[in-house]
Amino acid sequence: MTAAKMIDDRLVQGTTRRGFLLRGVVGGAAVTIGLPILDAFLDNNGTAFAATLGGGNLPVRFGTWFWGCGMIPDRWVPKATGADYDLPPQLQPIKDIRQHVSVLSGFNVSLGSRGNLPHLSGNTGVRTGGAADDWLAIRAPTLDVLIADAIGGGSFFRSLDLSADGNTRTSYSFRDGRTMNPTVPSATEFYRKIFGGDFNDPNKADFKPDPRVMVRRSVLSGVTDRRHALLNSVGASDRARLDQYFTAVREMEDKLALQLQKPPPAEACSIPAEPAALRAGADITDVEQRKQNHKMMAQMLAMALACNQTRVFNMNFSTAASDLRQSGNTTGYHQITHEEMVDRSIGYQPTVDFYALRNMEAWADFVAAMAAVKEGDGTLLDNMLVFAHSDVSYAKNHDVQGIPMMLAGSAGGKVKPGIHVAGAGEPISRVGLTIQRAMGLPAESWGLDDMTTKRSVSDILV
């Protein structure tokens, strides 16, 4: 009898394809807690599921991470290639996760006979292998959709599409220009999506779970008895992992509870005149608030991935024409990229540099959240491939040559992390083709028109 059979089937439900769930009740309504992959589910090597669970390798996930308005090339692109690449100023925020991140520079989007529609042409060139100069002119699915079609069927959600800016329309995932995948725009709504799947009132057709109630009473309270029984039925390492996991869920609930509470009185605060009504889906534009919302969403996404709720995701830190701003400043990042003069004493736009650094700090937060989750004999990030990219390189010129890209994770051992590859003007579609092959798709070629390619970026493949 294997370790996996030591767990009572009445406690844990699920399969290696659909994930494992602990079920319970809150206020008479059903709730579920997805479980991380435990040693008790694995073989003796910790690299595959136990034979009694059907065997098979641990799931490999794919996701994209997007930020708008690129970077300043001289301050972002490493000079050295390979594993010992240097960290220019705008890559300094990734120093603690550098071993997990590969930098891809110098790959170009070809516009062909089309014009460069700012913030669209470059983005579609990266994600579909062909630049479009109009939304309705998008001719192919984005690569995340192709990958979700191939691997997304074995999880609760075929894909999870997220935006940290509060806007459901901040999405760059689509089958064509008419079919965009809307995003979950906040940590609170994402929490509801993950933990509210079974929380339904049969008497209310339009009922939506109230996250305030769920946080106060805690999803964990609904599975308390089964949680304790499960903790008593696994080994020491699994028990420690479950303790860490349930503690992380509780901490996340506490953070969300604070967001949903009225703040305490502030004596020096005065109420200003009522502002104009916010547009629907108004963005969270303050860069520090955006980073906070994004970090919480990243931590919850790590839980969702570890519990096999999805195998494909898209995380958007900002829009392509990035609306980020500093507190107290009404001028946004995108506008600044065009209006700020280059400071000749330092050779670059200092405020643009500030925002570029904040983007990379958020990226580092995201990768760190994935690397913090232990899975099998490694981490969640080891069984992922995250493709980060922007829509332009130098935003002041809307340049689509050398759009910055990065990869994090090793796709279950198929990709080499922690290297710099200089593309030397090669088609950017080579990167998308490489990603599809790393994720197991039998893609002979990819791209459109003069960006069609059959060549992988072999440097990053094992």
Is the Cβ–Cβ distance between 67 and 94 less than 8 Å? no
Q: Where are the domains of the chain?
A: 61-206+286-460
3-state secondary structure the chain: CCHHHHCCCCCEEEECCCEEEEEEEECCEEEEEECCCCHHHECCCCCEECHHHCCCECCCEEEEEECCCECCHHHHCCCCCECCCCCCHHHHHHHHHHHHEEEEECCECCCCCCCCCCCCHHHHHHHHCCCCCCHHHCCCCCHHHHHHHHHHHHCCECCEEEECCCCCCCCCCEEECCEECCCECCHHHHHHHHHCCCCCCCCCCCCCCCHHHHHHHCHHHHHHHHHHHHHHHCCHHHHHHHHHHHHHHHHHHHHHHHHHCCCCCCCCCCCCCCCCCCCCCCCCCEHHHHHHHHHHHHHHHHHHHHCCCECEEEEECCCCCCCCECCCCCCCHHHHHHHCCCECCCCECHHHHHHHHHHHHHHHHHHHHHHCCEECCEEHHHHEEEEEECCCCEHHHCCCECCCEEEECCCCCCECCCCEEECCCCECHHHHHHHHHHCCCCCCCECCHHHCECCCCHHHEC
Which residue matches tokens 């080891």? 382
Please state, in angstroms and rounded to a whole number, the distance separating the CA atoms of residues 281 and 283. 6
pLDDT in tens, 261-289: 554 433 332 332 332 333 444 458 999 98
Residue 376's pLDDT is 80
Please state, in angstroms and rounded to a whole number, the distance separating the CA atoms of residues 298 and 398. 29
Query: What is the pLDDT averaged over residues 412-419?
Result: 96
CATH of 61-206+286-460, picked from 3.40.50.2300, 3.30.230.70, 3.40.720.10, 3.30.390.30, is 3.40.720.10
Choose between 204 and 258: higher pLDDT.
Answer: 258
Residue 272's pLDDT is 28
Choose between 184 and 246: higher pLDDT.
Answer: 184
Residue 78's pLDDT is 99
Is the Cβ–Cβ distance between 451 and 130 less than 8 Å? yes
How many CA atoms lie within 13 Å of 347's alpha carbon, on the beta-carbon side? 4
pLDDT over 80 at 192, yes or no: no
| CA distances to 168, 281, 338 from 351, in Å | 28, 27, 11
Per-residue confidence at 201, pLDDT binned at 50, 70, 90?
Answer: very low
Tokens standing for residue 120: 């669209």
**Residue 399, number of CB atoms within 10 A of its CB:** 17
Residue 55's pLDDT is 56
Residue 281's pLDDT is 47
pTM reported for the whole predicted model: 0.76
Per-residue confidence at 212, pLDDT binned at 50, 70, 90?
Answer: low
Please state, in angstroms and rounded to a whole number, the distance separating the CA atoms of residues 314 and 321. 18
pLDDT over 60 at 243, yes or no: yes
Query: What is the pLDDT averaged over residues 44-50?
Result: 66
Choose between 228 and 125: higher pLDDT.
Answer: 125
**Residue 116, number of CB atoms within 10 A of its CB:** 18
Inter-axis angle of helices 187-195 and 236-260, to 10 degrees?
130
pLDDT in tens, 64-110: 999 999 999 999 999 999 999 999 999 999 999 999 999 999 999 99
Mean pLDDT over each residue of the chain, to the nearest integer? 83
Q: Return the bridge partners of 310, or none.
A: 157
Query: What is the pLDDT averaged over residues 367-383?
Result: 91
